[in-house]
Chain A
Amino acid sequence: MFSDKAKEEIRQVFKKYPNKRSAVMDVLRIAQRERGGHIEKEDMEEIARLLGMQTVDVNAQAAFYTMYNVEKPVGKHHIQVCRNISCSLLGAENLIKHMEKELNIKVGETTPDKKFTLSTVECLGSCGTAPMMQINDDYYENLSAEKIDKILKDLK
Chain B
Amino acid sequence: MEKILLKNLGRPESHTIGSYLGTGGYNGLKEALKHAPESIIQMVKDSGLRGRGGAGFSTGLKWSFIPKDPTVQKYLCCNADEGEPGTYKDRGIMENDPHLLIEGMIIAGFAIGASVSYIYIRGEFVFGTRRLEAAIKEAYEKGFLGNNILGSGFSHDMYIHRGFGAYICGEETALLESIEGYRGQPRKKPPFPALSGLYGKPTVINNVETLSCIPGIIEKGPKWFSSIGPEKSPGPKIFCVSGHVKKPGLYELPLGTTMRELIFSHCGGMLNDGKGVKAVIPGGVSAPMLNAHELDTPMDFDSLAAKGSMLGSGAVIVMDESTCMVKTALIINRFFSHESCGKCTPCRDGTPWLTNILKRIEYGNGRSGDVELLESLCTNIFGRTFCPLGDGAVMALRGALKNFRDEFQYHVDHKKCMVS
Chain A interface residues toward B at CB < 8 A: 16-19, 21-26, 28-29, 51, 53, 60-61, 64-68, 83-86, 88-90, 122-130, 134, 137-139
Contact = CB atoms under 8 A, between A and B. Distances in A.
Interface residues of B, number: 54
A125 B87 contact: yes
Nearest to A16: B159
B161 A86 contact: no
Nearest to A84: B85
9 contacts: A29-B123, A53-B181, A85-B86, A86-B86, A86-B243, A89-B319, A122-B85, A123-B86, A125-B124
B237 interface: no
Interface of B: 82-88, 90-91, 118, 122-127, 159, 161-167, 178-184, 199, 240-244, 248-250, 281, 285, 315, 317, 319, 323, 327-328, 331-332, 335, 338-339, 341
A29 B162 contact: yes
B126 A67 contact: no
Contacts of B338: 122
Given A85-B331, A122-B338, A127 B164 contact: no
Given A22-B181, A123-B335, A65 B123 contact: yes
A80 B181 CA distance: 26
A69 to B, nearest CB: 10
A127 B127 contact: no
A22 B181 CA distance: 4
A85 B332 contact: yes
A128 B242 contact: yes
A66 B91 contact: no
Given A67-B164, A84-B331, A88-B331, 6 more contacts: A22-B179, A85-B332, A88-B327, A122-B167, A128-B248, A137-B127
Given A65-B123, A85-B317, A137-B126, A125 B181 contact: no
Contacts of A67: 123-124, 164-165
A89 B162 contact: no
A125 B91 contact: yes
Given A60-B183, A85-B86, A85-B331, A25 B124 contact: no
Contacts of B124: 67, 124-125, 134
Contacts of B285: 84-85
B164 A28 contact: yes
A22 B175 CA distance: 12
Contact of A25 (B126, B178, B281, B327): B178
A67 B240 CA distance: 25
Contact of B88 (A25, A85, A128): A128
A122 B86 CA distance: 11
A129 to B, nearest CB: 7
Given A18-B199, A22-B179, A67-B124, A128 B250 contact: yes
A26 B90 CA distance: 22
B180 A21 contact: yes
Among B241, B317, B323, find the residue whose CB has the most chain A CB atoms closer than 10 A: B317
A19 B163 CA distance: 18
Nearest to A60: B183
B181 A127 contact: no
A65 B164 contact: yes
Contacts of A85: 85-86, 243, 281, 285, 317, 328, 331-332, 335
A90 B318 CA distance: 11
A123 B125 CA distance: 12
A23 B181 contact: yes
**A-B pairs, 10 with minimum CB distance:** A66-B165, A127-B242, A67-B165, A21-B181, A123-B85, A65-B164, A86-B242, A137-B126, A64-B183, A67-B164
Nearest to A28: B164
Among A26, A86, A137, find the residue whose CB has the most chain B CB atoms closer than 10 A: A86
Contacts of A65: 123, 163-166, 184
Contacts of B244: 89-90
B317 A89 contact: yes
A55 to B, nearest CB: 14
A53 B243 CA distance: 45
B85 A129 contact: no
Nearest to A68: B164
Contact of B166 (A19, A22, A64): A64
Contacts of A139: 127
B317 A86 contact: yes
A66 B182 CA distance: 14
A26 B162 contact: yes
Contacts of A25: 161-164, 178, 181
